Amino acid sequence: MEKKLIISCCCLIMGLTVFAGDGEYAVTKIPAVLLKNANAVKRMEQISFEVVNTGEAILKKRYAITILNENGDQQALFMEYYDKMFEIKNIEGALYDAGGKELKRLKNKQIMDITGSDDNNLIDDNRRKVHDFFHRIYPYTVEYEVEIRFEGTLFFPVWLPREDEDFAVEQSSISIISHPDYTVRYKAFNYPGEPVVTTEKNRKILTWEVKELPAIKDEYASPPWEDINTAVYFGPTAFEVQKYKGNMESWQDFGKFVYALKAGRDKLPDNIKQVVHQLADPVRDPKEKIAKLYEYMQKNTRYISIQLGIGGWQPFDAAYVAGKSYGDCKALTNYMFSLLKEAGINSYYTLVRAGRSAKRIMADFPSSQFNHVILCVPVSSDTVWLECTSQTLPAGYLGDFTCDRHVLIVDENGGKLIRTPKYAMKENLQTRRVKAVLDEEDNLRVKSETVYGGLQQDNYHDLIHGLSKDKVKEVLHEQLDFATYEVNSFEYKETRSVLPEVEEKLDITVNNYATLTGKRLFIVPNVMTRTYHRLTPNEDRKFDIELGFEYKDVDTVEITIPAGYSAESVPAEISLSTKFGNYQSRVKVEGNRITYYRSIEHFSGTYPAKDYADLVKFYDAMYKADRNKLVLVKNETAAKGF
Amino acid sequence: MRILFFCVLVTVTQGVFAQPASGFNFGDITEADLSRKSYSIDTSAPAVVLGESGSTRVVGNSEGGFSLEFKIRRRIHILKNSAYDKATVSVDLYTDGETDEKISSLRAYTYNLEGGKITETKLNPKSAIFTEKISRNLLRKKFALAGVKEGSVIDYEYTVTSDFLFNLQPWYFQGDIPCLWSEYNASLPQFLDYMMLQQGSLPYFVETNSERQGAYEVQYAKEVYAGKTVNERVELTCMIADYRWVMKDIPAFRVEAFTSSPENFVSKMHFQLAAFRAPLQEKSILTTWPEFTADMLKGLDFINEMENAGEWWPSDMKTVLKGTSTETEIAKAIYNYVRQHYTCSGDNLAGKRTSLKKIAAAKNGNNLELNLLLMALLRNAGLRADPVMLSTKPHGLSTESNPVIGQLNYMVCRVSADGDDWFLDASHPFMGFGKLSPDCYNGQARVLNSEATLLHLTADQLTESDQAEVFISGGKQAGTLWTGHIKHQYGYYASEKIREQVKKEGNQGLNKELADVFEEGLLTDSIEVTGLEDTENSVNVSYHIRDEKEAGDIIYLNPVFIPHYRQNPLKSENRRYPVELPYKISQLYKLTMEIPEGYIVDDLPAPLLVKLNEKNEAAFDYMTAVAGKVITLTYSLEIAKTTFRPEEYNALRGFFSKMVAKLGEQIVLKKK
């Protein structure tokens, strides 16, 4: 459910025609240090971005990449997005062999022009220009040059010389050109020093350059790419986009621009106003009013993405949504804002960068960093958050699509950066009780009751709202970790609140759950909750470890087995206490009853690279403990009885 | 596309396009309709098609030809918000760049029950229909119905007019939601002959056809004298056949695992233009297989190029044939040269072919181009080599009776060498001589020769054989319970994956995979992979394994170290369509274990023989034995056919269940 506000901030560049002379890109000219671990080497890159005036900017980019082996082929693909706000003026390209001899030039008709939108959209104007030489004799070099005209200055390019892992950079530079009176703002990551500033008749040029960046390997749970690489982000001061003017020097200023785009779009038709009063007026509690109106909005609208030109920024007005019963995130949020306003409740249109693992917002660098809109409703000292594109979420709950991050709330006074709630370990709690009976035929009848809380309920929420009961059954039949099993019955109950819970009851029969040999019975007492994650050891870990999602699982299991067995080997109690989290499991056998307890607390946080080996060990230990078997032996005498 | 003809014309009778009365009544929507919360056909369906009706008729156009007019009406009850996507409708239109198919007469309504009253929301077709260009030949029109909520009934209709007579709209009776009534009508004049291809196992509720007299009017601009035209009208009467197909209470189509292509099972009707008949100029469109192959060969047009090999002969070919003498050696050398030195850029059969000269220079081409180059090289070396066309599994089955446009989507090569025929596909870099991807084993294949020789490539012709041998002995050092050595010969297609993986990640990837295999965290080392280069045969992987534990009074050991089946691959309780495996399966596993000093066997898994049926179409044979200080355990799995009917499903699932349980059993050793 990726919902996009703005789609096209990643367009890049160029424009020339003079390509490399023979031999310039010979592979022999690459310094040896750059070949190590590299699948591809960026030989050169020149980017220039010229702010002609606040209504127009020109991006020119020329670059050459040598592909060393087939794993580097993806770097040879040329792709640029465009839409009504970006015009690709010119694309040139050439292909060179290992010696740097030119083999081929790109012909315009070979450039594919394909749609850039996904199926969720009703319509948008995203398109892509794509080209590939499909050359596969290694090494080879591709060179491209592109020029893009930006209509407006809301978006600036990002300079990220080393775009990927296993990718080295011989040279890359970017120049930002503007009138001396115009300030371009920037934020640099891992760039030593300051840009070189030059001035030539009415043009101020700021230039950044790097040389000889060797290839690096990305690592599990490493920090965001820009934290471990050179990157410079740029932003405007005064800007313009399709006749709308704004300023980006502060979040407040940017908020004013966003507000201006939506100002006056909150007029509701009379019949809807009536509905609002019918629903809200009899209710005293403001939170209840909000919930009632939110439910009304959910029941009477659906999400459809429509993004055309400034429509990528400007919401359709409230009357449009009232008439069609659909809209995109901007339109639906603005509609909800309008409903609340009619009920006398103030709320804030709120920009967010959505996504489970979205990059964090650079809070100290006001710029266009968002792709989605939600609604923030202050209620005395509290805040109710509303995701208006969902027909199913309870009022106030955000889920991992938008929780725990900076967002920009907007009103007539401008914008302000605040944070959405974080769901912590005590909220992301899963408790499970399992009662199981093993019969003489080695079938285990399992009855489980599980309560999923916080972010742990997100998947189950989607499952029960997104799929029919039959489909849910199919999913359960595919996904449980048993060799052969039948789902006899299942039931889901949802507690809808600011911190929602899903309660699950399963009744399952597992065939041959235990392993029976002549006289022994092997059984894994941990029936349903297992870790699957094991990490590859890396003695040479370079980057910090960032673990995001924190949670707690608690399991209690009771298994009744056929009479006449006694324990031969009982897994020892395990208690792991690490900086990443705690794990406990213990099992007990009394007569024909096995009881098992397991709990895991997984923390979030940032840890130094040297801790990686401990993390590997922790995951391995849990993996192993979760699969420990209990061994029981048949009592020789028991069978004799009378 | 205009029809180039004309013959005769006749008097004017007014054509009566009597549509057969629909069995489903698109009448007024009632309160009772809207208050229904579910339907007995599928009580948990998020939406149900209450009725849908499509009809195609032929109409005369104003450009001296005929067009197809396709009308569709559909009424859907939306019950849950998860089916809101049904209220956004996409219509795909064909375009040849000059002429587009056109959509018209769009009407769309949403009905809701609000406060006991029925409300109606109309879509404004002017502002609500969007166009997206998907590809050179495809435009997509989209519209979204307004006012949709849970409980809404939506009702829409539109007409698509097409000048492309080959593109008679197919009809899918079955979709991803259940449908109470689905019908398709086609009224086809005798002068247009269509072949009808129907598919799926659901029965028709109504299936009729009848003939009647009808008339068509065609207009065209006739040049009277230079630059001056007048509109001419021509009428012709002829017999028209009215077809009607109806299905009732159609369940939602469910895609199941182990299905080569879902397209083979969904209930649908589609059409292939076969011929123009009198009074049009007679012309056969539907061809015979020999005509098809002749057309294909003409279209490929590579004979000339092949004969002038000097113009494109690859410069690096010189040494390739060195040291070869037999035909088979020559064929292998050439095949390996193309496979290793050229890259496949895709499977596209459509579009213009690049010349052999360019392919030889660029060292890349699509599937068809690389195999044509291969054939040209083989023929120039004096061997008989022919193109073979087939439909790959994901593309669906192909019709044998006559060629159907678009059905055969893939080309491979057949070469004769020393009296044997071999299939080659140069577009798979890791495929050995004489091997094709299992996706090619999809029934019919046609040799592009004058007889259009029919071949059958079926999954039953392939066997994936896997063998593993394991030796375990007691740990020699303190802290090591036991050590082992595993020699594993992978199946051919599993080997292909390993070759790819090792090429991409080196041995590291394989290492990690093996480590992941062992649930109890056993340690592996000294991994050796052999046979990577010998693509005609399987890859062998050997490695050491050890369990680092202190020896106790009892040793438990799971003796099956190659976990082909930890879980039953057949998850679902029931099955609607056949289970289709990509190949037959033959597995052999043998464990030899020295009993460590001071221990005796206390528990040993019992032998087991499981057979699927009397015909032994699947058999699992598991044996254990102790002789002196040595335990042996062997098992074999033979699955001797690749297609299992739904009626065989339960037995097959039970077969796997028993086998998986057995493979989890342990050996127990006890201190003396």
Whether residue B33 is predicted with pLDDT greater than 80 in this model: the reply is yes
A407 compared with B505, residue with greater pLDDT: A407
User: Which residues in chain A touch residue B133, judged by CB atoms under 8 angstroms apart?
Assistant: 115
Which residues on B lie below 8 Å from A122 (Cβ)?
88, 130, 142, 144
CB contacts, 8 Å: B669 with chain A: none
Q: Which residues of A113-140 are buried (b: 16+ CB within 10 A; e: fewer)?
A: eebbbeebbbbbbbbbbbbbbbbbebbb
User: Are B554 and A569 in contact (CB < 8 Å)?
Assistant: yes
Helix or strand or coil: residue B29?
Answer: coil
Query: End-to-end CA distance of chain B, in Å?
Result: 90
ipTM of the predicted structure?
0.85
Alpha-carbon gap: B166 to the closest alpha carbon of chain A (Å): 26
Residues A461, A464, A465, A467: is their CA dihedral positive or negative? Answer: positive
User: CB–CB of A512/B657 below 8 Å?
Assistant: yes
Helices H / strands E in chain B, number of each: 10, 35
The confidence band for A163, taking pLDDT boundaries of 50, 70 and 90, is very high
Cβ-based contacts of A512 with chain B (< 8 Å) = 657-658, 660-661, 664
Count CB-CB contacts under 10 A for residue B475.
Answer: 17
Q: Which residue of B has its CA nearest to A468?
A: B44
Query: Which residues belong to CATH 2.60.40.3140 in chain A?
Result: 27-244
DSSP string, A53-121: ETTEEEEEEEEEEEE-SGGGGGGG-EEEEE-TTEEEEEEEEEEE-TT--EEEE--GGG-EEEE---TTE
Mean pLDDT for the stretch of residues B48-56: 96
Nearest chain A alpha carbon to B82: A466
Q: Do A115 and B82 touch (CB under 8 A)?
A: no
Across the interface, do B364 and A136 touch by the CB < 8 Å criterion?
yes
Q: Which of A114, A512, A522 sits opposite B666 (nearest CB)?
A: A522
**What is the 3-state composition of chain A as percent helix, strand, coil, each rounded to the nearest 5?**
20, 40, 40
Structure tokens of B510?
């394989």
**For chain A, first and last CA: distance in Å?**
66
Asked whether residue B40 is domain-assigned, the answer is no
pLDDT tens column, A487-533:
999 999 999 999 999 999 999 999 999 998 878 999 999 999 999 88
Half-sphere exposure of B301 (CA within 13 A, CB side): 5
* Percent of chain A whose predicted confidence (pLDDT) is above 90: 81
CA dist., res. A373 & res. A357, Å (int): 17
Tell me how far apart the alpha carbons of residues B634 and B587 are, in angstroms, rounded to a whole number: 10
Q: How far apart are CA A330 and CA A321, in angstroms?
A: 11
* Residue B345 within any structural domain of the chain: yes
Asked if residue B374 has pLDDT above 50, the reply is yes
pLDDT for A119: 57
Which residues of chain A does B568 touch, with a Cβ-Cβ cutoff of 8 Å?
483-484
* Integer CA distances (angstroms), A194 to A171, A197, A248, in order: 17, 9, 22
**pLDDT of res. B18:** 38
Contact B666 A483 (CB under 8 A): no
Angle at CA of residue B188, ends B186 and B191, nearest 5°: 165
The candidate with the shortest Cα–Cα distance to B527, out of B549, B509, B503, is B509
**pLDDT confidence bin for A243, thresholds 50/70/90:** confident
Instruction: Say if CB B64 and CB B91 are below 8 A apart.
Output: no
* A568–B554 C-beta distance less than 8 A: yes
Residue with tokens 């709990």: A599
**Three-state secondary structure call for residue A360:** coil
Type of residue numbered A379: V
The most distant pair of C-alpha atoms in chain A lies apart, rounded to whole Å, by: 110
- In this structure, the answer to whether residues B483 and B445 fall within a common structural domain is no
Residues B524, B645, single domain; the answer is yes
pLDDT at A536: 86
Amino acid at B430: F
Asked whether the predicted pLDDT for residue B347 surpasses 60, the reply is: yes
Angle A270-280/A286-300 helices, nearest 10 degrees? 140
- With 70 as the cut, is the pLDDT of residue A638 above it? no
Please name the member of A484, A568, A569 whose beta carbon is closest to the beta carbon of B657.
Answer: A484
- Nearest chain B Cα to A123, which residue? B130
- Residue B500 counted as domain residue: yes
- Distance from the Cα of A268 to chain B's closest Cα (Å) equals 16
- Across the interface, of A466, A518, A536, the residue whose CB is closest to B512 is A536
Report how many helices (DSSP H) and strands (DSSP E) chain A contains, helices first.
9, 39
Residue showing tokens 């182990």 = B258
Q: Which has the minimum average pLDDT: A113-127, A331-345, B212-226, B445-459?
A: A113-127
Contact B666 A515 (CB under 8 A): yes
- Same domain (yes/no): B501, B628: yes
Least confident range of A6-20, A275-289, A615-629, B634-648: A6-20
Q: Report pLDDT digits (tens) over A592-611.
A: 999 999 999 999 999 999 99
Query: Which whole-number Å values give the CA distances from B223 to A182, B8, B45, B230, B524, in the listed order?
Result: 66, 19, 60, 6, 86
Q: What is the pLDDT of residue B317?
A: 81
CA distances for A410 relative to A154, A259, A413, A417, angstroms: 17, 6, 8, 9
Contact B657 A512 (CB under 8 A): yes
- A312 Cα distance to chain centroid: 20
For the residues B479-500, what does the mean pLDDT come to? 91
Rounded average pLDDT over B356-373 = 87
A140 to chain B: closest CA residue? B362
pLDDT at position A563 over 80: yes
Widest pairwise Cα distance in chain B:
115
Which residues of chain A neighbour B146 with C-beta distances below 8 Å?
A: 323-326
Contact assignment for A468 to B121 by CB distance below 8 Å: no
* pLDDT of the residue at B280: 84
Helix (H, G, I), strand (E, B) or coil at B433: coil
Name chain B contacts of A165, Cβ cutoff 8 Å.
Answer: none
CB contact under 8 A, B121 and A326: no
B525 or A239, higher pLDDT: A239
pLDDT digits (tens, 9 = 90+) for B539-556: 999 989 888 877 788 989
> What's CA B337's distance to the chain center, in Å?
30
Q: How many inter-chain contacts (A to B, CB under 8 Å) are there?
A: 140
The answer to whether residue B570 sits within a structural domain is yes
Q: What is the CATH number of domain A250-419?
A: 3.10.620.30
Pick A469's closest partner by Cβ from B44, B573, B658: B44
- Report the percentage of chain B scoring pLDDT > 70: 95
- Distance between alpha carbon B477 and the CA centroid of its chain, in Å? 54
* Residue A591 near residue A559, CB atoms below 8 Å: no
Regarding whether B590 and B441 lie in a shared domain, the answer is no
Interchain CB distance below 8 Å, A519 and B45: no
* B503 interaction partners in chain A (CB closer than 8 Å): 70
- Predicted local distance difference test score (pLDDT) of residue B355: 86
Q: Are residues B454 and B467 in the same domain?
A: no
Judge whether B366 lies within some domain: yes
Encoded tokens for B26? 């698109």
**Percentage of chain B modeled with pLDDT above 90:** 63
pLDDT at residue B476, rounded to an integer: 76
By CB atoms closer than 10 A (0-12, 13-18, 19+), residue B478 is: exposed
CB contact set of A339 (below 8 Å; sequence gap of 6+): A268, A272, A276, A293, A296, A297
CB contact under 8 A, A391 and B567: no
Please state the rounded mean pLDDT for residues A189-197: 95
**DSSP per-residue codes, B449-503:** STT--EEEEEGGG-EEEEEEEEEEEE-SSTT--EEEEEEEE--HHHHHHHHHHHH
Contact A443, A435 (CB under 8 A): no
Nearest CA in chain A to B573: A486
Query: CA separation (Å) from A332 to A217, A386, A398, B294?
Result: 42, 11, 16, 59
Summarize the confidence of residues B499-524 as an average pLDDT. Answer: 74
Q: Pick from B144, B363, B606: which is nearest to A136 by CB?
A: B363
B440-471 per-residue burial string, b: 16 or more CB within 10 A, e: under 16: bbbbbbbbbbeebbeeebebeebbbbbbbbbe
pLDDT at B16: 37
| Whole-number pLDDT of residue B518 | 64
Model pLDDT, residue B359 = 86
The answer to whether residue B5 sits within a structural domain is no
Q: Under an 8 A CB cutoff, do B605 and A465 touch?
A: no
Instruction: List the strands of the sheet with A112-115, edge to edge.
Output: A78-82, A127-131, A112-115
The reply to whether B427 and B471 lie within a common domain is no
Number of domains in chain B: 3
Query: Are A222 and A546 contacting, i.e. CB atoms less than 8 angstroms apart?
Result: yes
CA distances from A366 to A163, A235, A242, A408, B234 (A): 23, 8, 20, 10, 71
Cβ A134–B362 below 8 Å, yes or no? yes
pLDDT tens digit sequence for B583-608: 999 999 999 999 988 899 999 999 99
Q: Alpha-carbon distance B84 to A385, whole Å? A: 24
Q: Collect contacts of A582-591 with beta carbons under 8 A, ≥24 apart.
A: A583/A618, A583/A621, A583/A622, A583/A625, A585/A526, A585/A625, A585/A626, A585/A628, A587/A525, A587/A628, A587/A630, A589/A630, A589/A632, A591/A563
Chain B hits for A326, CB-CB cut-off 8 Å, are 144, 146, 148
**Mean pLDDT, rounded, for A572-595:** 97
Mean of the pLDDT values across residues A219-238?
Answer: 94
Between A469, A478, A518, which is nearest B603 by CB? A518
Could you tell me if residue B90 is inside a domain?
yes
The overall average pLDDT reported for chain B is 89
CATH of the domain at B453: 3.10.620.30
The distance of B271 to chain A (nearest Cα, Å) reads 28
Measure the CA dihedral B183/B184/B187/B193, to 10°: -140
Residue where one domain finishes, among candidates B269, B284, B299:
B284
Residue A269: asked if its preceding bond is cis (omega within 30°), the reply is: no
Is a pLDDT exceeding 60 seen at residue A16?
no
Q: How far apart are CA B487 and CA B494, in angstroms?
A: 15
2.40.10.340, 1.20.1740.10, 2.60.120.1130, 2.130.10.10: CATH of A429-634: 2.60.120.1130
The answer to whether A511 contacts B661, with C-beta atoms less than 8 Å apart, is: yes
- B-chain residues near A482 (CB < 8 A): 567
> What does the DSSP 8-state code read for residue A124?
E
The CATH 3.10.620.30 domain(s) of chain A lie at: 250-419
What is the fold of A27-244? Immunoglobulin-like (2.60.40)
Q: What are phi and psi of A553, to 5 degrees?
A: -120, 135
Boundary-marking domain end, from B402, B436, B461: B461
Q: Which segments of B560-598 are extended strands (E)?
A: 579-580, 584-594
- Assess contact for B470 and B485: CB atoms under 8 A: yes
One domain, residues B419 and B495: no
| Rg over CA atoms, chain B | 32
Tokens found for residue B517: 């295999």
Q: Domain residues for B168?
A: 46-284
Instruction: For residues B397 and B541, state if they share a domain.
Output: no
- Separation of alpha carbons A218 and B51, rounded Å: 54
- Could you tell me if B456 and B500 lie in one domain? no
**Of B44, B343, B572, which has the smallest distance from its Cβ to A136's Cβ?**
B343
Contact A467 B82 (CB under 8 A): yes
**DSSP state for residue A21 in the 8-state scheme:** P
Among residues B461, B481, B506, the one where a domain terminates is B461
DSSP for residue B235? E
Residues A483, B573: C-beta atoms closer than 8 Å: no
Judging by DSSP bridges, how do beta strands A372-379 and A382-386 pair with one another?
Answer: antiparallel
Nearest to B81 among A302, A324, A519 (CB): A302
B238 and B99, same structural domain? Answer: yes
B586 assigned to some structural domain: yes
pTM reported for the whole predicted model = 0.88
Q: Is the pLDDT of residue B513 over 80?
A: no
Nearest neighbour of B144 by CB, restricted to A122, A134, A392: A122
CATH number of the structural domain spanning residue B222? 2.60.40.3140
